[in-house]
Amino acid sequence: MIGFYSEGAPFPLKGKKWSVKKQIVSLIEMENRKAGDLCFVFCTDDYLLEINKKHLDHDYYTDVITFDYTTDNAVSGDIFISVERVTENAAEFDVSFNHELSRVMYHGVLHLCGYNDKSDDEKQTMQKKEDFYLKTFSITE
């Protein structure tokens, strides 16, 4: 099951939930896994900052935080996304909000599929995967 929730931020998927769910399930299946329980929470910068401080001991803003509950081959977890950070990143990278939101959502799901982004090589692999899925699902800039 894939759920979408909003915590103090505008809900960015009005009228798109069904197509986004299909993309997420397809991404997971293309990574040779199956979709378990996924929860996307769209929130404010401050809400995500508090999660970052409390759970990760980091005192900085970020666009996405993923909590992994994957068992065996079933991809499950909570993905918190700052709508404010996505908006700012879209402007900074000169892409549409939809493009940046999709990238961040895929990024969170890719973490649940086992990809990391700690090293430069891991970051490069993650970015290639994000770009591949943006192209696969025809998410334009």
Residues 26-57 pLDDT 10s: 999 999 999 999 999 999 999 999 898 888 77
Q: Record the pTM.
A: 0.92
Contact between residue 108 and residue 91 where contact means Cβ atoms under 8 Å apart: no
Tokens of 45: 């910068």
The type of residue at 106 is Y
Q: How far apart are the first and last CA of the chain?
A: 29
Helix residue ranges per DSSP H, 31-67: 45-56
- Tens of pLDDT, residue by residue over 113-129, are 999 988 999 999 999 99
CATH architecture classification, 2-136: 3-Layer(aba) Sandwich (3.40)
Contact between residue 69 and residue 30 where contact means Cβ atoms under 8 Å apart: no
